[in-house]
Chain A
Amino acid sequence: MKPNVPEKNGLSRRTFLKYTGTIVFAMGSSGYMLDECRAKEDGSKIAVSDGYLVVDIEKCQGCISCMLACSLVHEGVLSPSFSRIQILQDSFGKFPDDLTIEQCRQCETPACVEACPENALTANAEFGHVRMVDKEKCTGCGSCFNACPYTPTRLLVMEDETFNRESKSIKCDLCANAPHHWDEKGGGPDGKQACVEVCPVGAIAFTRKLPVQEGKSGYKVNLRDENWVRLGYRKS
């Protein structure tokens, strides 16, 4: 499986306005919003996800175990390029700006879902409305990749060996559809997420609470406790 990402052409004016509207809406609706739905352009509803990943970028030790576990349970191989969560670090940088973690936000209003022309990317009701790709439907067109407003883009389009090397989109599904999941009960909001489980320092957590959508603070949180402070690190 090889990453094969289409050119990202930047946001069109129409798309930009759409996101601007999304952000304004979200700012006015902070807090816990489980089961609330958002309207798609065609009038259908997108339910909010039952689960989210939040991270502590000051606690992360940069071992990239989460990235490797992600590709392992999904693709059966180990590769930072195939990971749905990305650790970015600068060995020469100054703490805490030397490292960040970028994970899929399971957005309340998911641009990737809205952009998919094939309805291959949906809030999957079977798995707690996690935003998931149906590879049977996905044509690998890259619309979702282009629509994701974050850096780095949280989706990838890759050649998929299980589909005769056709291009398919991949994204975080909270391990709901992970063919190599180690646990009999599997993943998803009601199961175990590989990145959360494998992290040695507890820098990634699962929550059912919808994070604040605007900015980074809802997803980049403080997971440090007194024991972390005992090791010589700061709590806040």
Chain B
Amino acid sequence: MNGYAGNILSIHLGTRSITTIPTKKYEQWVGGHGMGSALFFDMVKDKTIDGFNPENVITLMSSPLCGTLVPSGAARTEIQGIGVQSLPIGWFTRSNFGGRFSAMLKYAGWDGIAIQGQADSRVWIDIRNHEVRIRECRELDLWGTDTWECQKIIWKDVAGDGAYGDWVKVNKKGDMTTQRPAVLAIGPAGENLSRMACLIHDAGNGAGQGGFGAVFGKKGLKAISVIGTGSVKVNDPKALMKSRLWLKDQYQFDLKNLKFNTFVMGFQSPPVPMALYRYGKPRIGQRPQACVGCTAGCRGRYEDGIGNEAICFTSVFYYLGKTLLIQRQAADLINRYGLNAAEMFVGELYLKRLQARGIIGKGKEIDCPLAYEQYGELSFAEQLVKAISFRNDGKGNPHPFGDILAEGFVRAAEKWGRLEGENSDLKTGLLQFPHWGLPRHKLERSQLDWGYGTILGDRDINEHCFDMLRAFPTYYKQSGKPLPPSQDVVQIITDKMEPFQGDMKMLDFSTENMYSEHMIKLVSWHRYYTRFWKQSVQLCDFRWPDFLNLYGPGQAGATGIAEQRFFNDVTGKNFSFLDGINLGKKIWNLDNAIWALQGRHRDMVRFADYIYTRPGTTPSGYPEYMPGIKNGKWDYVITSGRHFNPDRFEDFKTRFYRFQGWDENTGCPTRKTLESMGLDNVADALETNERI
């Protein structure tokens, strides 16, 4: 089993048992998400349990590529289990983070971890190669620390007081490394069971979606630390090195010939932090910072140590902070307290709208202790973060405001009576949580792959595979820069979308094509590709798929060639790109079966009301452009400003389920389809539970 460590660590916190599962047993699922779903299916007998139930199993999985030299494919960790964030059901869901954790896990001799049960005291898990201990938090006073303090304390415990950079003996046997342990920790938000609590590793690697920080907190689990001194064996070392250099030569950014000087998707991107601060990047000394094996770091570390590794949603959390420094400090706050940046960003703006309307405030309809007179100052952000993290007024005093908000913004709105009647905040769009009680991300009415993928799944997909089709046309139209013919762009991409290659109308985002069979194929391909190549093999979302690439031959990227090349170099298997797509389809079916067992029915699969009535607009007010056919010709068409039609979306769902081979009336996978993939046991479970 080249690429694998060989064992999965299974820990039951309730019984304090530590056992191993041979990875071989789950090898057919390859790794990451596929393996996690299969483990969850086997280990959790009753899928209807709540995420806070001790029997909920959380899996943290690597892949055979983790810890290797596969470019931007060696560092992700997939985390799964029943989440506590979504509505109306806390779906079996996923999150994912980068950094060093999964690589270190492999060097320690583990392909993944499955955590079950609930500890009767507050604990952390200490993994040093094959020595695994469940340790009490009170030994190191860990409970009550923020995510950064927690990691530093554990670093010192594991690495000792030796000189920084010296070899460290990680165990009595004398195994050595210069590296610090990779630690995944919760902060006060997770300890106090906020449903938007996340997991943080190093300064800024966050697993935000699902509320897994709260699940850790409920289990009494503060942190997992892993340090490894072993190695990952690959099938063909020379071939792997050649492949890595091939990609560098053919597709990677070239510092002597830069095509971009800002962050973009794919391998053409130079190493620059994807920091989205309202006032731009900090203009101080800094470096790019990358996950293990990445070609181009997307985070930064700064000379003042503020905002280290904060990117994307984390960097926009306090969008209206008065200064860049305050915005950066606020990013650190949510990383340290361990809060989901996306929900905090969208939720904070919701509160601001309510405050502007005179609805919340001291003594108002919704009694709010936040000091809005300090809005824009760091003190305001700190009070909000603390209120949610400690379930109080943000100043250390009991207050229902923080307690209610810690349940998430949609649950809070419901508690405040804001979701009743015709003026419900989910009808007017004041509360921009369009799917599953979760915050908006890309404009789902415009970027259809994103919207459909999210509502047909379980969470904001946060998969940027086709994002460049919105980003480049939209920004270039604004700035007047010339765009390549959309037909050429669409051709390059769709040629790579095996087995639907050649159907260019998959990328026709015009209103006329919103509900077409072509769009069904796009959404299906996207589900299959990401379930396998991104979430199971764990290729990074920011670099894969590499569709368009100004360095590539004919400006075509490495996707369709590179994925299987690297996978086979490592594993020695003879996997094709299409094999991956097909396995992704199987994993997608398994996930849908689990959701059905949790109680999903097609009637639940609907956006918030405002998505059907209100035109989709961007915060900037500029229109969005995407490829589309206009008057019979390919062009870039405006895709914002429209909304979904509820009847046509229902019809779209029916045809989508039919395309998957599922029951059109329920949206549940059928026995025939499941058995065709070898999932007979899954079909049996659905039948036993009267879902089919």
Contact = CB atoms under 8 A, between A and B. Distances in A.
Given A62-B297, A68-B68, A198-B245, A77 B292 contact: no
B252 interface: yes
| Range of interface residues on B (Cβ < 8 Å) | 35 or more
A93 B165 contact: no
Contacts of B68: 68, 78
User: For chain A, what secondary structure do more than half of its interface residues adopt (helix, strand, loop), or is it mixed?
Assistant: loop
B97 to A, nearest CB: 13
A103 interface: no
Interface in A19-70: 58-65, 68-69
B111 to A, nearest CB: 15
Interface SS of chain B: loop
A101 to B, nearest CB: 10
Contact of A102 (B165, B232, B309): B165
B167 A91 contact: no
B179 interface: yes
B428 to A, nearest CB: 41
A69 B287 contact: no
A86 B286 CA distance: 21
Contact of A95 (B177, B178, B244, B285): B285
A221 to B, nearest CB: 16
Given A81-B177, A227-B256, A65 B293 contact: yes
Contacts of B293: 63-65, 68
B598 interface: no
B231 A200 contact: no
Contact of A64 (B202, B203, B292): B292
A155 B303 CA distance: 32
A197 interface: yes
B175 interface: yes
Most buried by A among B69, B252, B295: B69
B244 A198 contact: yes
Interface stretch (A2-10, A105-113, A133-141): A2-10
Contacts, number: 198
Given A102-B165, A227-B256, A71 B304 contact: no
A86 B178 contact: yes
Contact of A152 (B67, B167, B229, B302): B167
A231 B203 CA distance: 22
Interface in B243-299: 244-245, 248, 252, 255-256, 258, 261, 270-272, 281, 283, 285-297
A69 B241 contact: yes
B285 A96 contact: yes
B240 interface: yes
B241 A182 contact: yes
A231 B270 contact: yes
Contacts of B232: 77-79
A72 B203 contact: no
Contacts of B151: 91-92
Contact of B237 (A76, A96, A156, A231): A76
Contact of A200 (B107, B164, B248): B248
Interface string B214-255: 000000000000000111111001101110110010001001
B166 interface: yes
Contacts of B289: 61-62, 91
Contacts of B163: 151
Contact of B272 (A78, A90, A232): A232
Interface centre among A90, A156, A180 (most CB of B within 10 A): A90
A5 B305 contact: no
A35 B309 CA distance: 45
Nearest to B67: A78
Contacts of B297: 61-63
Given A5-B176, A68-B68, A60 B164 contact: no
B229 A81 contact: yes
Contact of B287 (A75, A82, A86, A233): A233
A182 B239 CA distance: 7
Contacts of A230: 258, 261
Nearest to A158: B176
A99 interface: yes
A202 interface: yes
A228 B304 contact: no
B303 A95 contact: yes
A200 B177 contact: no
Contact of B178 (A61, A71, A80): A80
6 contacts: A61-B296, A68-B292, A76-B234, A91-B204, A151-B165, A234-B285
Given A63-B290, A71-B231, A88-B164, 4 more contacts: A68-B67, A80-B177, A91-B309, A230-B261
Interface of A: 1-5, 58-65, 68-69, 71-73, 75-82, 86, 88, 90-96, 98-100, 102, 151-153, 156, 180-182, 194, 197-198, 200-202, 225, 227-228, 230-234
